[in-house]
Amino acid sequence: MELQMWKEILNPYDLAVDELTVKFNHMIKEYQRNGMYSPIEQVLGRVKSISSIIEKAQKKNIEMDKIQESLEDIAGIRLICQFIDDIYTVVDLIRNRKDMTIKSEKDYITHQKASGYRSYHIIVLYSVETISGTKTIPVEIQIRTLAMNFWAIIEHSLQYKYLGNLPEHVRQSLNVSANAMVALDDEMSEIHDEIVDSQNFYLVKANIVSDILGNIQNLYKVANKQEIIRIQDEFYEIYEEGDVGKLDQFNKQLDIIAEGYRAQALN
């Protein structure tokens, strides 16, 4: 096939990778701007090189004119996450999108490959507008953790170096490091839970403080100045201690005081 032909064939794949890279990067920005944790850490995109396409087509006995229908990973997006749970969050985000349709999914995390490879693969059908009209093409989205990505990159380059015939000692090292990768991700998942817990803890504290401030504001209307000053001083003292239990207790006391004033007003 002539180089010009390749360029024409690869053009929509190029566009799809560019567009999807922008879209997924924008998701990260949206999370950050809203002060939220982003399940996506990094977005990478690539169009398979012509030599890799030819190599894969030969390996799979695909005729050159059938490449576009038969190869689903000419356009590839890689989404890197911090934690395993994030991967499944990202999978759900993709499932809910209206600008792509899921063609197939492979969960190599639950079903780790014999090589040790772990990753979640989704083939989506994605439409791009080119000067010759709308083209709908498959895009392979690989979703994996930092640890999974590290292992896969190393293994891939070793496979390349040894032309797929890994010496026994290299194979063993890759097995050991694959186990380490699983252990690292599991360990990190534990920390993930702790982070979520601590975020919830701060949310609870923020809500109690907001209730207290609302209560004090309401008491301004009914209580005398000296009592308000006493309540405020007590609040600052407890707040500085940082004990959420004490803040909650204090808030309940304020509720009782406010209730007392309400009852007085009714009599």
Q: Given the rule CB under 6 A, which residues bind ligand 0O2?
A: 48, 52, 56, 73, 106, 113, 115, 117, 121, 152, 155-156
Rounded to a whole number of angstroms, the minimum distance from the CB of residue 152 to ligand 0O2 is: 4
Cα(166)–Cα(2) distance, integer angstroms: 35
Q: Which is nearer to ligand 0O2, 76 or 223 (CB)?
A: 76
Rounded to a whole number of angstroms, the minimum distance from the CB of residue 177 to ligand 0O2 is: 12
Query: Which of 140, 187, 237, 240 does the annotation list as catalytic?
Result: 140
Q: Look-up: residue for tokens 């707040």?
A: 239
Torsion sign across C-alpha atoms 174, 175, 180, 182: positive
Cα(245)–Cα(202) distance, integer angstroms: 13
Neighbours of 142 (CB within 10 A): 20
Cα(123)–Cα(127) distance, integer angstroms: 13
Q: Which is nearer to ligand 0O2, 142 or 215 (CB)?
A: 142
Rounded to a whole number of angstroms, the minimum distance from the CB of residue 62 to ligand 0O2 is: 11
Q: Which is nearer to ligand 0O2, 83 or 120 (CB)?
A: 120
Q: Which is nearer to ligand 0O2, 18 or 73 (CB)?
A: 73
Cα(72)–Cα(115) distance, integer angstroms: 21
Q: Which is nearer to ligand 0O2, 158 or 258 (CB)?
A: 158
* Helix/strand/coil for 140: strand
Q: Look-up: residue for tokens 């891939």?
A: 156
Contact 124, 101 (CB under 8 A): yes
Rounded to a whole number of angstroms, the minimum distance from the CB of residue 44 to ligand 0O2 is: 11
Rounded to a whole number of angstroms, the minimum distance from the CB of residue 71 to ligand 0O2 is: 8
Decide if 19 is catalytic.
Answer: no
Q: Which helix (H) or strand (E) holds 150?
A: helix 146-161
Give catalytic residue positions: 140
